[in-house]
Structure 1
């Protein structure tokens, strides 16, 4: 009989992938593509969770309900899904007021 494998304090199963490991593996693959090699030093390449959050927002924009996206994302709480979706895009409201050139006087 094979020896029992050590699980550790952060895993329930020895084959379980921890969230930090998933992010590190994603970064390794992302960096190996060299797609972001030319970005400025002040910019950072996208992380696993940023891509995941963007996907969640895109599902919402495609018309899927929060509940459907929650299931795809494997979130146990709807608030987590909404948190992932927050901050993508610019929310705006169309209004019926316009400023003509006579008000602006052609100056900005």
Structure 2
């Protein structure tokens, strides 16, 4: 029987390599950020990916989740089933907002 510590194990890599082609302007931007942040080029690129992901995955940027905020502001609809008539409810609310804007102008 072989001891666990005697068996060769694959080495874990820090990450997968990626090849990126940058314009001169992007290369200069990467160099500036590297110096300003005191980080490696790889770290700057990883932070950029994370920031981009957060920007696009943010609930504020998500269209469906923004809709939830719109529905929150709509007045109660009485007998209307909002789940079934949501398009009409939103359209009616939008039309009411136009009316209130024209009344105040």
Q: Which has the larger radius of gyration?
A: 2
Give TM class, smaller chain: under 0.3
Length-normalised TM-score, structure 1: 0.27
